[in-house]
Structure 1
């Protein structure tokens, strides 16, 4: 990997990803371009193509990078309710940290359809602990995802109060409702 004469250091995937994610959050995913990213990295735009095929591949890479930044709860033997709460809080914090990427992902569901992603696998693991039968995992996870997504959309669209403490209390109520509903599977 050659170093750019202007930069003096080789370009890395991590640097591309981190910078592109920051630009996407600052200006929106649609405004991200290979030229803008190259300018920010102080490289020739063609240098990016040694690492990423095109803008679509860059956006897919960003989606993956953003998803990998969710701090998933460990399988530490804690009750499923606690693990589900930690997962929901981590997901909510992640949506607040990366609102542009989150919105983009939900406008382009084909990008996040991979059920092998660690987030989905953590949710499936927790749902199994809650007693959800294998045959109901997909449906239950889809409903929970829709429920939490609806909350986050209401928050990001300004349908909830601007007070962060009040939003946290409202989100806690949503989590309690989810946990209460899932308790029926283990009864």
Structure 2
């Protein structure tokens, strides 16, 4: 079927409203939030968007491509701290909190991403570039950036995984204090680079 025909079908089923990547991604993320990644299918997504399932393939080639699109959309929504002269400690705290909120908002997607390291470990993602920038400001030498970022990521990921999987007390205040303690420990550990 020609691309123009697919586009016409997608538009006509939706009464003249063209399908966008943002709409596809947002709707897919909502379906994942409701039923997990396993519950998402191209057919179910098409029904939710009121389009022919084949029209989705004009925008995303497969479910894997859809997951990568969702990852990019989430990344755009994470509040990345700007490079505005704010102390690196505050920037690291802001980045950790933004990452934490993302995990809490979309636990099924977050769990899936971290079960597939080839997605989350893509060093072209803005979250990694931001973390590297903050680590440089903290005095971490270039040869140690990758290792240090991996350790911090593992630390925060482990903490979030424990919470997302329900292995912490059901006390939001205690959970918040635990997260604050973890961030405080990270900042104190990184401060040793500045002192060298």
Task: Please indicate the TM-score interval, normalised by the length of the shorter structure.
Answer: over 0.9
**Equivalent residue of 2:97, what SS?**
helix
Q: How many residues align?
A: 187
CA RMSD in angstroms comes to: 1.1
CA distance in 2, matches of 1:158, 1:21: 21
Check whether the contact 1:130–1:186 (CA below 8 A) recurs between aligned residues.
yes
Q: Choose which of 127, 143, 162 in structure 1 pairs with 2:151.
A: 143
Segments ≥4 residues shifted beyond 6 Å:
none
| Cα deviation digits, residues 80-128 of structure 1 (max 9, x gap) | 1111111111111111111111100011111122112110011000000
Residue 111 (str. 1) matches residue 101 (str. 2): no
Q: Determine the structure 1 residue equivalent to 2:11.
A: 4
Q: Determine the structure 2 residue equivalent to 1:69.
A: 77
**Equivalent residue of 1:141, what SS?**
helix
| Cα deviation digits, residues 165-185 of structure 1 (max 9, x gap) | 211111000000001111111
Deviation at residue 164 of structure 1 after TM alignment: 1.5
Moved more, 4-13 or 117-126: 4-13
Q: Choose which of 27, 35, 38 in structure 2 pairs with 1:27.
A: 35
Give me the TM-score of the superposition, normalised by structure 1: 0.96
Structure 2 gap segments, 5+ residues each: 1-6
Give me the TM-score of the superposition, normalised by structure 2: 0.92
CA distance in 2, matches of 1:131, 1:5: 57
CA distance in 2, matches of 1:54, 1:88: 31
**Equivalent residue of 1:96, what SS?**
helix
Q: Determine the structure 1 residue equivalent to 2:86.
A: 78
